[in-house]
Amino acid sequence: MQKRLLIVSNRLPLTIEKKDNIYVQRQSSGGLISAVEAYIGGAGKEVFTEQLWAGMPGIDRETWEKAESGDSHYAYLPVFTDEEQYEQYYNGFSNSLLWPLFHYFPSYAEYDPATFQAYIAVNQAFCDAILAQLRETDVVWIHDYHLLPLAGMLREKHPGLTIGLFLHIPFPSYELFRVIPRKWQKALLEGMLGADLIGFHTAEYVAHFLKTIDMSLKISHDNQYIQWRNRQVQVDAFPVSIDYNLFHDAYDRQDIRDLRNKYSSIKEGMKMLFSVDRLDYTKGIQNRLIAYERFLHRYPEFVGKVVFVLVIVPSRDSIAKYNERKKMIDEYIGNFNSSMGTIAWQPVIYQYDHLEFADLTALYGTCDVALITPLRDGMNLVAKEFVASRKDGQGVLILSEMAGAAAELSDALLINPNDTEEIADTIATALQMSPEEQKERLESMQQVLMKYDVNTWAADFFNELEHIKSQQLKFEVKFLDNFSKAELRNRYEAGKNRLLLLDYDGTLVNFSSIPSGAAPEEELLALLSGLCEDSRNDVYIISGRDSQTLDRWLGHLNIGLIAEHGAKHRKPGEKWSHEALAVSTGWKDKIEKIMDHYVFRSPNSFIEKKDFSLAWHYRNADPFLANRRAQDLYEELVEYTLQMPLDVLNGHKVIEVRSEGVNKGFAARKVLDAASYDFILCIGDDKTDEDMFKVLAGVPGAYTIKVGHQASFAQYNLYTPFLVSSLLEMLSGTHTEVFKYSSDH
C-alpha cells in the first residue's frame, strides 16, 4: 500500500533567494532536516513512497507563487498567516513563554493572553492547510513546541488518522508546568494527546509529562500508555541522534584536512578549547567564559598555552533578552581579552556568525577539548557531532549533565553547568588526559552513536507508531450487543469443554469501602454453584484477594481459586500451592514501612497484607489528597524496587507490590496449558486483568469482556457487575428476561 509521510514543523526546510530578479527555493540545513533526510534516504524508502512537508515559508503568498522550485526530496505545503499574528505566536507564546519555561527559566516567561490566542490561531491555520491536502492513509509527523495543539485539532476532524508528535526540547517538571494558566495547560496537553505516539528525548521528560497529565487532567496511565477518549496513546523516549557516518567519514575529506591544517596554525603549539552554540540564555555561555577565566587564574601554567575558540550562531535577534545576552557576552570577552591577553596571545577567539559544515567538522577535528555546557538542553547534537567527528580517537568532551545527551554520552566529563569552579577544574583534567584514556572514552561513545544513529532514531519512532496503531485496534471500547450475546450463548451451548475465568471485585460484585464488605451474597453463590455443577465447565475465580478470604467465601464450591493475581492457586477439592517465583517475601517488612508512612499521611487509607504481596488501598481517602499520595508512593516504590525482583502495580484505587512475573496472564496461561478447551469466557474490570486479555487474544473459542467503559485489550465491554451476573445467568439458563431488560435499557 502506498503511504505518504506528512512532516509538519514551524518553518519549511528551505530558503528563498532572489537571483537576477528570479526567486529560487533552496533547501536549508538544520538538525531536524538532517535527521529526516537521513531516514528518508535510508530505512524510510521502504516505508513511505512520498513526502510532503508543511510549514511556514518565511515569505508572503505572492512571493511564494513566484519562486521556482529547487532540488528537494519533498513537496512543500506552505502555511500562511498574518505577520503580526505570527510574531505573537512565534516570538510571543512559543519563545517568550514555552521556551523559557520548558528550559527552567520561569522568571523569563511572559503570560500574555493575546499571544496564546495567536498561538491557537496559527495552529488552526496549520490544521486547515493540512486538512485541505490530507489523505486518510497519511502518516502525520508533527515537530516541536510551536505546534503542541495541532494533533488534537487534526484528530477532531479525522479520528482514525495516524499522528506522531516529537518534542525537541525538554518537558519540564509538573511544578514548572503548573504555573501556566489552567486553560492554556488544558489546550496544550489535550492537543498533545491527539497524537498516537508522543516522543521525548529522555525517560526523565517522559516521567515529567506523565505526572503532568495525571495532575493537570486527572487521567490514568499505565507507565507509557495513556487511556484518553477511548484511545490508547503511547509516550516514549527517542533520543534524537545524528548522521554518524556523515561526520565520521568527513574526517578524511581533503577540503576538511586542509581546513584542519589551517586551524592548527592558530594553535601554534597551544591547546584549543572549542564551543559552538546558538545565541540563547539556556546555553550557559556566560558561565563557560567565567569558568575558563577562573581556570586560567587557578592554573597559571596554562596562560599563553591555551586558546578558547567560541562561535556563537545568531538566533532570535528580535527578542530583547537575546540582544541583551549578546551585549553581555561581547563586553565580557572584550574585557577578558584586554585584561589577560597580550599582543602575542588572546585567550578567546570569538566569532558571531554561522559555520559551514566543512569549517565546523574541521574545528571539531582540530580542538583538544569540546566545551559544551548548556544550563538546560533537550538533547544537544553538537556533543554527538564532536564525538562522531573524531576519527583519530583524540579529543575530550566536557558536557553538561543538564543536556539530554548526557544520558547516552556517559564517558564524557560531565559537569554541573552552574558550578564554574568544577568546570575550571574539569578543563584542567581534560587538557592533561592521556591519549590512551581519550581514545578509550571516545570509542565507547562512538559505539553508542553508531548503534543509535539518526536513521535508527526515526525508524524506531515509526516502528513504535505502527505498533501503537495496531494496539489501538485491539484496545478499544466495544460493548457486548444483542447479536454478540446471542453468538456467545450459541458458542457456549455448543462447547464440550468450557473454561470460565472470572475476576471477583468489580466484576462479580461491586467494590466495597472495606475489603470484607464484598462477601458474596446467596444469589451469586447460587449462580456460581450452578455453573460449577455443569460437568462441561471449569470455573476459576482469579483475583487479587488473599487465599484465606477466597477460601472462606468460595472454598465450599466445586470451583478453582487463584489468589494474589496468580501467586497462589487451588484446584477444586485440593490444597493451595504457590508459584516458585513468589517464595521469597523478605522484602515485605521494608515495603510495609514505606506504605505505613502513606497511611499516616492519607487518612482512611490502609494496607492489605497478603502472603506474597502488599496492597495500599486509598478508595476511602480524600480523592485529591490520595491521588497525589498514590503517585508519590508509586514513584517511590518503583525507584526502591528498581533492582529487586518485584512488580509495582498501579491499580484501581490501590498500589500493590508483588513478586516479579506473577500476574493473571501467567496464571491464565497455566490453566490453559493444563487442559484443552473449545469455549473460554474471561471477564475482568481492572488493569491487572489486561494480562489475561492479552494472553487470550487470538485463542480460538475465547471471549474476553472488560467491565466498565474504559478501552481494553478485551473484545467486549459490559457496564457493570450486574450485567455480568445477568450474562452468567443467561448462560446457566436462569433469569434470561432480567438480562434482556438490562442490556436493552
Place of cell 499574528: 85
Q: Provide the grid cell at 122.
A: 496559527
Instruction: Give strand pairing partners of 501.
Output: 540, 682
Report the alpha-carbon distance of residue 550 to residue 538 in Å, rounded: 17
In contact, 680 and 703? CB cutoff 8 Å: yes
Strands 4-11 and 50-56 turn out to be: parallel
| CA atoms of 224 and 667, how far apart (whole Å) | 24
Residues sharing a CB contact under 8 Å with residue 576, sequence separation 6 or more, in sequence order: 547, 551, 563, 568, 569, 570
171: nearest Cα among 189, 154, 196? 189
Q: What are the two backbone dihedrals, phi and then psi, of residue 438, each rounded to the nearest 5 degrees? A: -55, -45
C-alpha cell of residue 156: 477532531
Strands 498-502 and 537-542, by their bridges, are parallel
Residue 55: exposed, middle, or buried by beta-carbon count in 10 A (0-12, 13-18, 19+)?
Answer: buried
Cα–Cα distance, 427 to 35 (Å, whole number): 31
Backbone angles phi, psi at 465, to 5 degrees: -65, -40
CA dist 648 and 639 (Å) reads 10
Q: Establish how many alpha carbons lie within 13 A of residue 534's alpha carbon, considering only the half-sphere containing its beta carbon.
A: 20
Encoded amino acid at 719, one letter: Y
CA atoms 346, 348, 351, 357: torsion sign: positive
Question: What is the dihedral angle through the alpha carbons of 48, 49, 51, 52, rounded to the nearest 10 degrees?
Answer: -120
Query: What whole-number distance in Å separates Cα of residue 390 and Cα of residue 677?
Result: 62
Closest of 561, 556, 532 to residue 544, by C-alpha: 561
The rounded distance, in Å, linking the Cα atoms of 541 and 122 is: 55
Catalytic annotation, pick one of 144, 503, 505, 647: 503
613-617: strand order across its sheet? 606-609, 613-617, 654-659, 646-650
In sequence order, the 6+-apart residues with CB closer than 8 A to the CB of 410 are none
Return phi, psi of residue 356, to 5°: -75, 160
Distance, in Å, from the CA atom of 710 to the CA atom of 261, rounded to the nearest integer, reads 65
Widest distance between CA atoms in the chain: 102
DSSP summary character for residue 271? E
* Cα–Cα distance list, 717 to 189, 199, 225, 622, 723 (Å): 28, 30, 19, 29, 10
| φ and ψ of 631, to 5 deg | -65, -40
Catalytic annotation on 503? Answer: yes
Report d(CA 18, CA 37) in Å as an integer: 25
Short-list 417, 413, 387, CA closest to 402: 417
SS (H, E, C) 30-92: CHHHHHHHHHHHCHHHHCCCEEEEEEECCCCHHHHHHCECCCCCCEEEECCCCHHHHHHHHHH
* Partners of 609 in beta bridges: 614
**Strands 139-143 and 4-11: what pairing?**
parallel
Residue 502, classed as helix, strand or coil, is strand
Angstrom distance (rounded) from CA 479 to CA 487:
14
Taking the CB of residue 102, how many other CB atoms lie within 10 A of it?
A: 22
Residue from 410, 303, 407 nearest 397 by CA: 410
Residues with active-site annotation:
503
